[in-house]
Structure 1
Amino acid sequence: MSRSVIIDGSIIYTNYNQIMGHEKFESLLNEFIEILKEKNSPLLHALVPFKFGNEYDTKRISEYFNLLTMRNLKELSHIMNYINPELLAKFIESFYTFWRSKHRFMVRYEKYINDYNRRASIEYTMTMVADQFKAVIKNLYRQLISNITNEFPKVMRQLPSGAQTMFLYDFVNCEKLSYNWMDKIPTIWGAIFDPPAIFYTKSNKRKGVIPIEEKDILEKIELSPNEWFRIPIFVGKLLFFNFVHKDFLAHGAGLANLFEIASPKDIKNRKPDGIIIFGINPVKIPEYNKKWENAVVIKDKDVYVGIIPGIDENDYFGYMKKTTLTVHNLIMIENGNLPIHGSMAKITLKSGKKAIAMFLGDSGAGKSETLDALNRLDEVAEVDIIIDDMGSLQIENNEIVAYGTETGAFVRLDDLPPGYAYHTMDRSIFMNPDKVNARVIVPFNNYKEIITPTKIDYLFYANNYTEVSNDDERIKFFDSYKDALKVFSEGKRMAKGTTAEKGITTSYFANPFGAIQMKEKHEKIAEKFFKKMFETGVKIGEIRTMLGIKGFEKEGTILAAKALLKLIEKKG
């Protein structure tokens, strides 16, 4: 059973028959009835008149529902005389809830046009089609309930029941890297969200370090254009082709909210730096082995290919994001740059003083949370986030500069202040909001700013495990680059439930996404960069967020933020 429902956006939906006369409606009805049969649900008693042997005639049920949109239940008694109105109303309510539990996507073929105004017109049309579909679905539900109960609800609820995300796609050939299967896959060039977009996935944790292999694989893979979509994105300045199976399209929507989508014009004459394939059946992966179960990165000639098998355990956006960023980091290391697993922001105080601070640390170390706490202090005018999770340091004109990768953030809800997620829900994607490690994907910056080289003032290791009571101990600077490298290399943290790890853990450079896989080369690059930072006046230190210490999950990052505020105030 697929959780994703793909809705044809080329149709203008104006009447109920377009919904109930569609084969997908009958298919959904069949699926819902099978679930009720497994549970031996009393709701099935509403369908007894449509039961023949052990099976239910879904075609006849659909036709009866269609008649119910035009006549009330009593008027149809000559057709079906043994319908219990209360049970049937409950069945319709449950079926409507079942529909809304699906991941709902509307897709529409539109040739990409360079002219901005014409593209805006296409996107507006798509929005109107989606709104019309949503209205028909809601009115269908209300009409059925009204004609069954013979009354109209005193309170009407505008429940989200249409498409959660709308995609515009074209077919684009990449002349620099062309495979028969690749050119046939629909390429998404635009996305429209109907917030709040809430997706429930089968997993909500990531585990393991992604193995790296070298072999030819792209020419051996075959993806069906009926089941796959290509979402081209920019990861920093690198171009990626992310192929997503329709069953995992919620993670494709996440990509669109987290990265800059590349246009067909961008990809036509440019070879991709990386390729990600998310949701492929393991039996269709050439030379598959158990080590690749969660993800693998394969270097095929001069292109890195990340593959995430389509199993329930991998149904988590963290696998999409981290595999993509692992490929980014491997390319950075090959180019002699230093990938940073961390966050960075331009901090401006009301006094006019400014600083660029970068925080390095693994998931749950308190990087984003400290910046958010800082932004809520009265003395702070603005915290302009440039990097939320991954970036890179490069040396340009004999100076250290930083680049970002994402235009959004994949944030753990449990560590955010109360109400923060609701403040941004009109532009966010929520993943499993009812579970531990619930996440929200929210945009925070524009693409131009994250790829603009930015000089940094401070580089902090985010320490979430050391408890301190003295404000002077919350930030400590290193006296030498060797002392700094020792702490940064160890990558110690208290696990926060974002991965399968527990307790105090270590991870080389707090970066299992490329750094550990190319450790020898990374060590040389890190030493070079840390020396250069000491030479050029970039201060390297440790900030104690206490996010991993019981009782300080919220207060710790606020105290760390206040310590950083004092530091910037003293800055010359």
Structure 2
Amino acid sequence: MQLPGEVTDRSVIIYMTGALCTQPAQIFQSWQARAVIQNFLDQLQRRESSDLKLLAGLEVKGSAYSPSPAAQVLARLLGLLVDLPCEQVRVKAPDLASLVREPLPLAELVERLYDHWRGYERYLIFEGAADHSRDRALEGHMPFIYNNQDLTSLVREAYRRIERNLRGYWPRVYRQVPAGANLSLLIDRIRWSCPGGPYEVLRDLRMIRLALLTPPVLLYPRRNRRKGKITRSLRHPLRNLHLDLDRWLCIPLRVGELCFLFFFDRDYLSLAISLVNLFELSGHEEARRKPDGIVLFGLPPESMEGERTSFYIDEEEDIVIGSVVKSEEVDYFGYCKKMILTLHNVIMMRRGRLPIHGAMCRLRLRHGPDLGLLIAGDSGAGKSETLEAFRIMADEWISDLTVVFDDMGSLLLTPEPRIRAYGTEIGAFVRLDDLDPGYAFGHFDRSIFMNPHRQNARVVLPITEYSHIVAGYPVDLLLYANNYEPVTEDTPAVEFFSSPSQALSVFQAGYRVSKGTTDERGLVRTYFANPFGPEQLPDLHQPLAERYFEAAAEARVQLGQIRTRLGIEGWEREGPRQAAEALFRHLLGQVSNRAS
């Protein structure tokens, strides 16, 4: 069964099960083209634009799925103008002659329609076989890639031909702007290890197997921050649940060493696809495994019984399930990311590992040893920003810097004893304002930007290899990101604790000044700076934390805090930079002492 396409006020979804059209003029015979034109005319009508005078006498009012006479006539006219100049259009279609009486104003209207089209989130979704060969051979990927390129070429050629036939000449400057789909997917039904019972409702949902992003990718979620907290539910979310197979898709992910299935209503397609920049997309074999975690994003409100975000531990199947209600309030990428990480943390605690809300990198100092640096802290504490400062200073201080994780990881205690850290994400979801402008725009071609015009503008960008996040690097320094205290003689930028109990008390208190990334304000406190699992299950987490901090001290891990001052007005950039510099000076001092 072919999935239906969709055109909304901000997105166009085109499903392909056969071949694309081969001629540019055929574009305007599609219902999607007429729907886009209708939305464009609706926009002009709301603004009371004088452009509508070109369509005088035609009824403009309509809808995407029932286009007006004006939208249908304009689609027909544009289809003719792809191949014919105005003079021939008048001969071939006398009823359209009045519309091409003034070619230049019509050319300007076409230019604005072209910009309107490119302002959509444009999805091209192919359904096809996704066997193991697609993971092993490039040939399995090429038809998918070429179809995306073909659509771009068709749209761009149609636009240029129309403009030439209206203006009477070809342009002398060509701009190869993205004109086709900016997000393309290959989907298929995969036989995965579905446990049965209440999970049967998920068995036949289509999975995303390949993704193609055409930058720049600019997305505009309806919200720009998270609200509330994820709660534990004692009710199985899949019992008596009914899902529309045409509306739901699945994206299989590797969250560190874990296998996740992220099921979502297609209203959240932009959020779900953005996950490919944050987590490793599962290979064919991993996608077929029984998952460690399942996320259901966009459940009907009646099935959530008043909850917005919650998780359930299925003891019998050893699966943790996260649920997010369908609502405009959760149309923000942070809900996807943090639900996945919450499930990860719950699973890791159940397996005896200590989850850490923080950022870690592996440093190789110039003329010094390799060091594992882990900075813990809640949202806006400055952990990622400090690592960003390390990256900027890399040429001066270090030989190599490898990011292990940017937001969440877990610690494993080995017999030596040694503390090893494992990550979850290959990417980062960071505030655009907190990145060095040169770095953000230098990675423009790989990034997904979200609401770049609003407060808390965010970018999702890949920053490390999957092999690094599962390598298990030793931890040499474990620091708490203190973003609220000034740096003075008594409170230095970098301070080390005298005992594991002193360190434990600071980490457990979890103080920070909120940066407006959530609905919190001012100086707030979060148990272990980690509201994503440990706060919900403190009885499971506390014994682990005590054991790991004692073991860290025994393994000679340096425990301390780093004052980033990210929460102090005026220190948002300079604070993390000075904190990173102070830490480097401490490390270099240690290297010098060892050498002497």
TM interval, shorter chain, is: over 0.9
SS of 1:51 mapped into structure 2: coil
TM-aligned CA distance change 1:350 to 1:13, over 3 Å = farther
Does the aligned pair in 1 maintain the 2:208–2:249 contact within 8 Å?
A: yes
Residue of structure 2 aligned with 1:288, choices 270, 291, 305? 305
Aligned residues of 1:51 and 1:57 also touching (Cα < 8 A):
yes
1:8 and 2:8 equivalent? no
Q: Would you say the 8 A contact 1:545–1:556 is kept in 2? A: yes
* Aligned position for 1:47: 55
Of 302, 322, 325, the match for 1:306: 322
1:516 aligned residue: 535
Q: Tell me what 1:190 maps to.
A: 210
Assess, with a 3 A threshold, how the Cα gap between structure 1 residues 43 and 374 changes in structure 2: closer, same or farther. Answer: same
* Distance in 2 (alpha carbons) for counterparts of 1:319 and 1:216: 20
Following superposition, the deviation at residue 298 of structure 1 comes to: 2.7
**Given that residues 215 and 300 in structure 1 are in contact (C-alpha distance below 8 angstroms), is that contact kept between their aligned partners in structure 2?**
no
1:463 is matched with 482
Checking the alignment, whether the CA contact within 8 Å between 1:89 and 1:145 is kept in structure 2 is yes
- Show the counterpart of 2:584: 565
Q: What is the distance in 2 between the residues matched to 1:53 and 1:303?
A: 51
1:236 offset after TM fit, Å?
A: 1.2
Distance in 2 separating the partners of 1:52 and 1:556: 56
Tell me the distance in 2 between the aligned counterparts of 1:273 and 1:337.
15
Residue 559 of structure 1, CA deviation: 0.7
The equivalent of 1:383 in structure 2 is 401
Moved over 4 A (4+): 52-55, 469-472
Structure 2, gaps ≥5 residues long: 1-7, 63-67
Q: Does 1:393 align with 2:397?
A: no
Rounded Cα–Cα distance in structure 2 between residues aligned with 1:287 and 1:492:
32
Greater displacement, 299-308 / 489-498:
299-308
CA contact (8 A) 1:177 1:272 kept: no
Query: 2: CA distance between counterparts of 1:500 and 1:216?
Result: 28
Q: Aligned ranges for residues 119-268 of structure 1 at < 5 Å?
A: 119-178=137-196, 179-268=199-288
Question: Which of 550, 556, 564 pairs up with 1:537?
Answer: 556
Amino acid at match of 1:121: E
Provide TM-score, normalisation by structure 1: 0.94
Q: Is the 8 A contact 1:43 1:90 kept in 2?
A: no
Question: Match of 1:241, SS?
Answer: strand
Q: Mark the CA change 1:314 to 1:116 in structure 2 (over 3 Å): closer, same or farther.
A: closer
Looking at structure 1, the residues matched to 577 and 51 of structure 2 have their Cα atoms a distance apart, in angstroms, of 51
Shift of 1:287: 4.6
Contact 2:25–2:158, Cα closer than 8 Å, also in 1: no
Q: Which amino acid in the other structure matches residue 188 of structure 2?
A: D
Whole-angstrom CA distance in 2 between matches of 1:434 and 1:318? 17
1:104 partner letter = R
Instruction: Give, in whole Å, the separation in 2 of the partners of 1:254 and 1:437.
Output: 17
Give the alignment partner of residue 29 of structure 1, picking from 22, 26, 37.
37
Distance 1:172 1:29 in 2: 37
For 1:198 and 1:143, how far apart are their aligned partners in 2?
Answer: 27
| 109-118 or 427-436, which deviates more | 109-118
Task: Give the CA deviation at 1:100.
Answer: 1.4
Contact 2:360 2:372 in 1 (8 A): yes
Q: 1:114 to 1:174 in 2, by over 3 A?
A: closer
What is the CA-CA distance between 1:341 and the residue it aligns to? 0.5
The question of 1:112 aligning with 2:130 is answered yes
1:273 aligned onto 2:287: no
Extract unaligned runs of 5+ from structure 1: none
Percent of residue pairs identical: 36
Aligned length: 566
Contact 2:407/2:428 (<8 A) preserved: yes
The structural deviation recorded for 1:363 is 1.2
**CA displacement 1:464-487 (0-9 Å, x = unmatched):** 111115598111111112211111
Q: Which sits farther off after the overlay, 449-458 or 101-110?
A: 101-110
2:311 to 297, 302, 311: 297
Residues 11-64 of structure 1: CA deviation (Å, up to 9, x unaligned): 234212331111111222223323333333333222224338985343332112
**Partners of 2:211 and 2:539 in 1: how far apart?**
41
Which whole-Å CA distance do the structure 2 matches of 1:52 and 1:21 have between them? Answer: 19
2:105 is the counterpart of 1:60: no
1:372 positional shift: 1.6
Distance 1:13 1:518 in 2: 55
Q: Which residue of 1 aligns with 2:5?
A: none
Contact 1:273–1:303 at 8 Å: present in 2 too? yes
Deviation, structure 1 residue 198:
1.6
Shift of 1:529: 1.0
> Residue 2 of structure 1 contacts residue 247 of structure 1 at CA under 8 Å; is this kept in 2?
no
- Correspondence for 2:352 among 336, 344, 356: 336
Partners of 2:442 and 2:241 lie apart in 1 by 43
More deviation, 122-131/295-304 = 295-304
More deviation, 547-556/537-546? 547-556
* Range with bigger deviation, 312-321 or 97-106: 97-106
Q: Which residue is 2:3 aligned to?
A: none
Residue 104 of structure 1 aligns to a residue in which SS?
Answer: strand
**Do 1:494 and 1:504's aligned partners in 2 also have CA atoms closer than 8 Å?**
yes
* Residue 77 of structure 2 is aligned to residue 70 of structure 1: no
Instruction: Provide, for residues 359-402 of structure 1, a one-character-per-residue CA deviation record: whole Å limited to 9, x for no partner.
Output: 00011111111112112221221211001100011212232211
Residue identity in the other structure for 1:317? F
Supply the distance in 1 between the matched residues of 2:238 and 2:193 (Cα, whole angstroms). 15
Contact 2:355–2:411, Cα closer than 8 Å, also in 1 = yes
Check whether the contact 2:55–2:70 (CA below 8 A) recurs between aligned residues: no
The code of the aligned residue for 1:288 comes to E
**Could you say which residue in structure 2 is the equivalent of 1:370?**
386
CA deviation vs aligned residue, 1:70-129 (integer Å, no higher than 9, x gap): 222344343323324344333322222222121112222232232368641121221111
SS of aligned partner of 2:97: coil
Q: What is the identity, as a one-letter code, of the residue corresponding to 2:282? A: A
Report if aligned partners of 1:4, 1:249 keep a CA contact under 8 Å in 2.
no
Match in the other structure for 2:374: 358
Report how far residue 300 of structure 1 moved: 4.2
Check the 8 A contact 2:152/2:180 in 1, yes or no.
Answer: yes
User: 8 Å contact 2:354–2:411 — kept in the other structure?
Assistant: yes
Cα distance, 1:160–1:280 mapped onto 2, change above 3 Å: farther
Kindly indicate whether the alpha-carbon contact (under 8 Å) linking 1:212 and 1:298 is maintained by their aligned counterparts in 2: yes
**8 Å contact kept, 1:3–1:247:** no
- Cα separation, 2, equivalents of 1:193 and 1:555: 34
Aligned to 2:506: 487
Cα distance between partner residues in 2 of 1:276 and 1:249:
14
Distance 1:395 1:415, change over 3 A: same
Q: Secondary structure of 1:557's match? A: helix
After alignment, is 235-244 or 160-169 more displaced? 160-169
Measured against aligned partners, the alpha-carbon deviations of 1:174-205 in whole angstroms (never above 9, x if no partner) come to 23424443222111122122122221211111
Structure 2 letter corresponding to 1:56: P
Q: Please provide the CA RMSD for this pair.
A: 2.1
CA distance in 2, matches of 1:116, 1:63: 40
2:337 to 313, 321, 334: 321
One-letter amino acid of the structure 2 residue matched with residue 370 of structure 1: T
Q: Is the 2:42–2:60 contact (alpha carbons within 8 Å) kept by the matching residues of 1?
A: no
Aligned to 1:275, what secondary structure does the other structure show? strand
